[in-house]
Structure 1
Amino acid sequence: MYLGTDPALPSVYDTALLGLLWSALTGWLQGVALVGVDGPGGGVPRRCTPRWPGGGWTLSAAS
């Protein structure tokens, strides 16, 4: 993607995307940790969360 002639603009885009990535990742990890403490509570998070492609991760500790 061409962002123009300003040499600092790609760095700004990179920083913004990395900020989004880390906030989404830490939010997901916090949700997994909270569900792991008390269990999935009737399987609701498990039904709403798809499995990782090729991985087989689930939110249930019993799986």
Structure 2
Amino acid sequence: MSGKRYTEEFKAAAVKQLVNRGHPAAEVAEWLGVSIHSIYVWTKRYGGPEVERKAQHPV
């Protein structure tokens, strides 16, 4: 594990590439230089409707 931290905005933008633009997870992971596992975790957290996300992860 590299221990590198990414901002919430970076993670949400990565997920938008999957959800809104339909790019494959493996492609997005390669473009951004992150693991596919990270993409899947971020998708689970940031991929749902905004209201639902805020209820699950209040700021």
Asked whether the two chains share a fold, i.e. TM above 0.5, the reply is: no
Higher helix share: 2
Structure with greater Cα Rg: 1
- TM category, shorter: 0.3 to 0.5
Q: Which has the higher contact order (CA 8 A, sep 6+)?
A: 2
* TM-score, normalised relative to structure 1: 0.31
